[in-house]
Amino acid sequence: LKNYIFHHSFNRDMDQRAVCAGCHRLIRDRFLLRVTDGLWHERCVRCAACGDALQNSCFLRDHKLYCKRDYADLFAVRCGRCAEAVSPAELVMRAGATVFHLRCFTCSVCSCRLQTGDRCVLREGQLLCAREDYHQCLASPTSSDTGNHKLIAYCILHIEGKWLNWGKKKKTNHLRLLT
């Protein structure tokens, strides 16, 4: 943030009625800070969560400033299995709207690691492999006359930056991960 400190009286292009984006009051101080498109009092550049002064960097969301730690705690995407934050650079598996670390993309019953090409279902937020001996409960007959099984979940899988649709509506009781 130090790079964004301006000497208010020397900046001729600066509006003499500069308003702080944090407190919405006029900035009459000798120095002000520019964060993204807003001008701030030095004293107003604080984390909205913990209140600490932001010295070197900050994160802006919904017109509020955050320190790195609080921004990650409040807004990080969380793994559907372990609930830990998922790094933006991390490869993930995605089932429906739920994101999983690669290490956490495992069957909720038998803990087997699910890989591309494996059959699985997403049932009530839980990943289940399609092993008949472990999960006979997956096959639940429908009320139709045919006795066929319907798809339990519809999912999207994200591998190496590619979105792949899988689990299109079929008369089956499992999903298949595509490559």
At 157-173, the pLDDT tens digits run 333 333 334 444 333 34
Least confident range of 39-43, 88-92, 141-145: 141-145
Please say if the pLDDT value at position 66 is more than 70.
yes
Cβ burial of 120 (10 Å; 0-12, 13-18, 19+) is buried
Q: Helix (H, G, I), strand (E, B), or coil: what is residue 148?
A: coil
* Confidence band, pLDDT 50/70/90 cuts, at residue 134: very low
Q: For residues 125 and 103, which has the higher predicted lDDT (pLDDT)?
A: 103
- DSSP category for residue 91: -
Confidence of residue 67 (pLDDT cuts 50, 70, 90): very high
- For residues 122-127, give the mean pLDDT: 78
Measured CA distances, 13 to 7, 9, 10, 118, 153 (Å): 12, 10, 9, 62, 58
pLDDT at 164: 39
The label of the residue with tokens 């009625």 reads: 17
Higher-confidence residue of 39 and 157: namely 39
45 Cβ partners below 8 Å, 6+ apart?
1, 22, 33, 35, 53, 54, 58, 65
Domains of the chain and CATH, by start:
2-75 (2.10.110.10), 92-176 (2.10.110)
Q: What is the pLDDT of residues 7-32, one digit of tens each?
A: 444 444 455 578 999 899 999 888 88
pLDDT for 132 equals 53
Return the minimum-mean-pLDDT range out of 38-42, 94-98, 151-155.
151-155
d(CA 154, CA 95): 8
Res 163: pLDDT: 38
Residue 143 pLDDT > 50, yes or no?
no
Share of the chain above pLDDT 90, in %: 21
